[in-house]
Amino acid sequence: MIVIGELINTSREGLEEAVKNRDVEFIQDLAKKQEEAGADYIDVNCGTLIKEEVEAMEWLVNTVQEVVDVPLCIDSPNPKALEVGLEAHEGKALVNSITAEEERFAETLEILKEHDARVVALVMDDDGMPNGAEDRIRVGKKLIEDLMKAGIAEGDIFVDPIIQPIGTDQAVGEHILDAVEEITREYEEVHITCGLSNISHGLPQRQLLNRTFVTLAMSRGLDSAIIDPLDPKIMALVTAAETLLGNDQYCAGYIKAAKSGKLDV
């Protein structure tokens, strides 16, 4: 499981202030804690700052990379912010995200190629958000094919099936799971990732729905998620699921996590 730690995002409480104030200690502490908890990427997103986003992104990448060894996920719909973030980044970053919208695809692709980055591909195009499983599969495949034609390696693509609220459409869970399964079956090296919190929008006990959904999706091929690695309940479920899905030789990772008290949830 490729865990993308989601906590450094200015839409989260207290984060916009910390980034505006260039609070190095606060940001570095949050980055280190996520790495220690098992994050494989540290996401950095300062999209709420709008006009200051580009400078803030450069500062975030430099500040976080000073204290962690894992690569970063440069998270913005703004190609300028992605470019500046990738310039500052050392090693192979993940970009979140590209879409099948014609203009955004072209602009983002150029930046990806220049910096040899991996990329999250959101299954939306100029017609907007996906509707149903078929739509997700169609746009997902188009993105994979177009990215590969442009020279991006299959294993560098992370398809995001776009999570929508189960509270407004009870079929959306199955649609997403079917899309995850189909894309995984057709492209063995492609990764599937997603943010989870939209699934529970408007419902009570949101964390329960979010962590249950990541488990359901792992059973169908999801192998990455943008989550809070400091949430012991979601991390315990992910660890157990990895073991049960055969991705943990001799159950060594599970036993180690249990011994360190991480599974005591």
Instruction: Determine, following the binding rule CB under 8 A, whether residue 129 of this chain makes contact with a second copy.
Output: no
Nearer to a second copy, 78 or 215 (CB): 215
Instruction: Determine, following the binding rule CB under 8 A, whether residue 149 of this chain makes contact with a second copy.
Output: no
Nearer to a second copy, 47 or 232 (CB): 232
Q: How far is CA 242 from CA 182, 187, 231, in A?
A: 20, 20, 17
Q: Which of 108, 194, 178, 195 is nearest to 143 (CA)?
A: 108
In the list 166, 194, 227, 235, the residue contacting a second copy (rule: CB under 8 A) is 166
Nearer to a second copy, 67 or 244 (CB): 244
Q: List helix spans (H) across the chain.
A: 15-20, 24-36, 53-65, 79-88, 102-115, 132-149, 172-186, 206-218, 232-244, 252-259
In the list 69, 128, 170, 188, the residue contacting a second copy (rule: CB under 8 A) is 170
In the list 68, 199, 225, 226, the residue contacting a second copy (rule: CB under 8 A) is 199
Q: List helix spans (H) across 116-231.
A: 132-149, 172-186, 206-218
Which window, 7-15, 23-31, 49-57, 235-243, contacts a second copy (CB under 8 A)? 235-243
Q: Is the peptide bond before 97 cis (omega within 30 degrees of 0)?
A: yes
Instruction: Determine, following the binding rule CB under 8 A, whether residue 251 of this chain makes contact with a second copy.
Output: yes
Instruction: Determine, following the binding rule CB under 8 A, whether residue 174 of this chain makes contact with a second copy.
Output: yes
Write down the least CB distance from residue 221 to a second copy, Å. Answer: 10
Which window, 9-17, 22-30, 111-119, 165-173, contacts a second copy (CB under 8 A)? 165-173
Instruction: Determine, following the binding rule CB under 8 A, whether residue 215 of this chain makes contact with a second copy.
Output: yes
State the number of CA atoms in the 13 A half-sphere of 179 facing the CB: 28
Which window, 71-79, 97-105, 124-132, 250-258, contacts a second copy (CB under 8 A)? 250-258
CA angle 232, 188, 77 (to 5 degrees): 65
Asked if 214 and 221 count as a contact pair (C-beta separation under 8 A), the reply is no
Q: Which residues, other chains included, contact 1 with Cβ-Cβ below 8 Å and sequence gap of 6+?
A: 218, 223, 224, 225, 238, 241, 242, 247
Instruction: Determine, following the binding rule CB under 8 A, whether residue 188 of this chain makes contact with a second copy.
Output: no
Q: How far is CA 211 from CA 24, 27, 215, 217, in A?
A: 31, 25, 7, 10
Instruction: Determine, following the binding rule CB under 8 A, whether residue 255 of this chain makes contact with a second copy.
Output: yes
Write down the least CB distance from residue 240 to a second copy, Å. Answer: 4
Nearer to a second copy, 33 or 262 (CB): 262
Give the interface with a second copy as residue ranges (CB under 8 A). 166-167, 170-171, 173-174, 177, 199, 203-205, 208-209, 212-213, 215-220, 236-237, 240-241, 243-246, 248-251, 254-255, 258-259, 263-265
